[in-house]
Amino acid sequence: MNIFKIIRILTLSAILLSPAIYAQHNNIAMPGYMRITFPELKAQIHSEQDNLQKINLLKEADRELSEFSPYQQAEYWFLLGKSLETERLMSDARAAFTKGIDIYSSNNLSISSLLINLLHERARVSTNLDHQNSTSCEDREQALTYSRELKDPSLTAKSISYYAKCLQNEEHGIAKSLTLFDEAFDIAQNQQLDSSLKIIIFNQASTLYFRALIYDKAYEYNMLAYNLSRETTDTNSTYNMLLNAIHYSIALVDITLAKQHLTQLSQWHIRYPQFKGAQLKFYYLSAKVAQLEKNWPLSTSFLEEGLKEVHDSQNVSYVQATYELLSIAYFRVGEIEKSFNMLSLVETMFPDRKPIKKERLLIKGMMINNPTDIVNSAFELIDKERQLKNNFVKQTAIQSAKLFDENLNQLDNIILEQRLTIVTITTMFIVVILIVFLYLQIQRKKLAQHKHHLMDELLAKKNQLLSDVSHELSTPLTVLKLQVESLKDDLEEDVQASYDALDNKITDIEYLIDDIHQLAQSDVGALQLNVRPFELNIIFDLWEKELRQLVNKNKLTFEITKDFPCELMINLDQDRIKQIMTNLLSNCIKYTDKPGRVSILATTRSNTFYLSIEDSAPAVSDKDLNAIFERLYRVENSRSRETGGSGLGLAICKSLIELHNGTIHAEKSSLGGLKIVISLPL
């Protein structure tokens, strides 16, 4: 027992034995005791976080109990019982709940939810003290009767869940329980039930499935209740469902799962030392798991440790079961004398209680050396096991027969409903077919119109493209023709200059044809990328010298800013990226007033490479910002003619960027001109 546990027990004992301690500690004079009303007391209890202080406040108010109304007195005992139950003082809690119930009886108070909850709580602590206690089922049956009289759906569902557990030991009990649970589930579906009520329904359903030997469903419902309960402050319910999880895992013979929950139980004992019987239950259940592994020596060791904890447990059934299981464990490891001695101790300690472990009867027969008793006990065990199975099959058959009778009674209605449904579905099907047919006709007409519109649009674009290309080719061809005629007629004084002009025009025509060819490849998906890894810093340093020279010789100031990690490797088409930058800088050189500025910013962020190129005046109007990426588009036709170019450079840049799965757009520059922004995923 740790020091924290000792201090808590001493504190609780002082509060229960001497309420004056709290008054003295808070400088309250006992002779002139201050009166308190019940609403004030309830407010203090609800605002108090420390459960021990709640018990102390309630004990102090015991002096004023005669001043409260009968209903308030009953509620007082309910509040005290709940606080005592939280501290695992089960006997004291049961006495408090009993006093509350007696007040209802002696004063003929009307049925209320308080009385129903008093009955539920008394049944719960009675079961915790002794699983064989029969009064708990009487309380639960009475609570269900009162709930139906009140016509309170939530209380009825709660009472059903508790009482259904009691029916399972009766003849046809499982069938009756299933019927009751149908009612509880109907209420749950039609009412907005809070989590605490869902916990009760799931928990009791798991118990029902366990009794019906359907262990997997029992475990499933228990874990639903357990997970909901962990989100509440009801540690008692959470604790009981954790114990059930271990029992059901053992029934499923899932040793790994059982050990997992045993670890949780061990941690629970450390976190909540007020659960005094938790350590005994841990050793007892660990012993059962060891038996599943056929490790009887380990099981014996666990049970011997458990005997050291029996004085802390208020649950008589677990204490008795520990002694009985240890007697069996001793027998299995061959320590017959210890087994007999332990069994004699059980007989002395629990003379009037039925055996929990049926093997106890066999060992007792051997102890008194009576083979007939041993055989009869074995026959009784076999008969009882057979009877349990027969009862389960019988109850299942009764339930199935009941459902079959109900189905027969509804058969005629179902057939009529089916015929009506068939007619309705057929009619709806015909209507749907007509609607779909009309919809398809409308869509077909819209599609034909859309195709016609696209054809007209494509034809217009084709004609425009042919016109633009013809116009682009006609200008240099006309100049070539005039130049050739001048040379032929010996009109040119500087023949070499004429040859140079002819060469330049032919080069312009070659550039235009190459640009058109590149765009055509992009349109048909034939344009390929040569993607390979390269170090961005090294390549940018090489490009910077060449690009700076290109810009500076055209009387423009060049600035470049880089912001990316050293030794950054990226996968792109190096030549295409340089082509894009060269095209964009060429545009800046052609369309920027001299002297002017050109600036490049290159950075990486969030696995993306960003590149922006901007220049100084003149600017581009808002309506032209998106159009400049169209083929053969010029912002100012006359000015563009003077600067030269095919009008396809930005269109090519856009196709190359999109081929890299990137984006490109234009915006106004802070330098006064145009800014092109590119983003490429790395």
One domain, residues 567 and 675: yes
Is the pLDDT assigned to residue 192 strictly greater than 50? yes
Number of domains in the chain: 2
Token pair of 528, please? 């390929």
One domain, residues 519 and 614: no
Rounded CA gap, 510 and 516, in Å?
10
Q: DSSP assignment of 570-627, as one string? A: EEE-HHHHHHHHHHHHHHHHHHSPSSEEEEEEEEEETTEEEEEEEEESS---GGGTTG
Is the pLDDT assigned to residue 401 strictly greater than 50? no
pLDDT grade, residue 4 (50/70/90)?
very low
Is the pLDDT assigned to residue 101 strictly greater than 70? yes
Helix H or strand E encompassing 667: strand 663-668
One domain, residues 640 and 504: no
One domain, residues 508 and 630: no
Q: DSSP assignment of 133-195, as one string? A: -SHHHHHHHHHHHHHHHHT-HHHHHHHHHHHHHHHTTSTTHHHHHHHHHHHHHHHHHHS---H
Helix H or strand E encompassing 631: none
How confident is the model at residue 21, as a pLDDT?
43
pLDDT grade, residue 26 (50/70/90)?
very low
Q: What is the mean pLDDT of residues 335-341?
A: 84
Q: Over the stretch 244-253, which tens digit does the pLDDT of each residue have?
A: 999 999 988 8
Single-letter code of the amino acid located at 609: F
Is the pLDDT assigned to residue 351 strictly greater than 70? yes
One domain, residues 515 and 638: no
Is the pLDDT assigned to residue 198 strictly greater than 50? yes
Tell which of 499, 524, 549 closes a domain: 524
Mean pLDDT comparison of 257-271, 552-566, 573-587, 649-663, highest-scoring range: 257-271
Range of the domain at 496: 484-524
One domain, residues 592 and 506: no
pLDDT grade, residue 453 (50/70/90)?
confident
One domain, residues 503 and 537: no
Of 168, 205, 208, the C-alpha closest to 188 is: 205
CATH code of the domain covering residue 632: 3.30.565.10
How confident is the model at residue 510, as a pLDDT?
65
Q: How far is CA 10 from CA 52, 53, 89, 241, in A?
A: 11, 14, 14, 29
How confident is the model at residue 230, as a pLDDT?
87
Does residue 669 fall inside a structural domain?
Answer: yes
One domain, residues 519 and 596: no
If one compares 592 and 31, the residue with the highest pLDDT of the two is 592
Does residue 671 fall inside a structural domain?
Answer: yes
Long-range contacts: 234-241, Cβ < 8 Å, 24+? 234/196, 234/199, 235/86, 235/272, 235/275, 236/85, 236/86, 236/124, 237/199, 237/203, 239/268, 239/272, 239/275, 239/278, 240/128, 240/203, 241/203
How confident is the model at residue 376, as a pLDDT?
53
Is the pLDDT assigned to residue 569 strictly greater than 50? yes
One domain, residues 603 and 493: no
If one compares 204 and 591, the residue with the highest pLDDT of the two is 591
If one compares 124 and 197, the residue with the highest pLDDT of the two is 124
> Taking the alpha carbons of 626, 632, 636, 641 in that order, is the dihedral positive or negative?
positive
One domain, residues 557 and 644: yes
How confident is the model at residue 394, as a pLDDT?
53
Q: Over the stretch 46-68, which tens digit does the pLDDT of each residue have?
A: 888 888 888 888 888 888 888 89
Of 608, 600, 560, the C-alpha closest to 584 is: 600
Is the pLDDT assigned to residue 400 strictly greater than 50? no
